[in-house]
């Protein structure tokens, strides 16, 4: 289990900044949709 997480972190670092940018964009889009859902819930 611990070795799996280490290899996962290593693969993240080896891929560089592009997945980080994609992740940030995805999080921004998700937070926008989540805030919209919260607005409907309120």
pLDDT reported for residue 27 = 79
Does residue 27 fall inside a structural domain?
Answer: yes
Does residue 7 fall inside a structural domain?
Answer: no
pLDDT reported for residue 14 = 64
pLDDT reported for residue 7 = 78
Look up the domain containing 30 and give its range. 16-42
Does residue 8 fall inside a structural domain?
Answer: no
pLDDT tens, N- to C-terminus, the chain (42 residues)? 457 677 767 776 666 666 777 778 887 877 777 677 666 655
pTM > 0.85: yes or no: no
Does residue 5 fall inside a structural domain?
Answer: no
SS3 track for 21-40: HHHHHHHHHHHHHHHHHHHH
Does residue 1 fall inside a structural domain?
Answer: no
Phi-psi category of residue 37: left, alpha or beta, with phi > 0 → left and psi -120 to 50 → alpha: alpha
pLDDT reported for residue 6 = 75
> What total number of domains does the chain contain?
1
Does residue 2 fall inside a structural domain?
Answer: no
């Amino acid at each position: 289990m611990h070795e799996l997480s280490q290899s996962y972190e290593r693969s993240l670092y080896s891929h560089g900044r592009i997945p980080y940018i994609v992740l940030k964009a995805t999080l921004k889009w998700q937070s926008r949709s989540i805030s919209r859902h919260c607005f409907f819930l309120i």
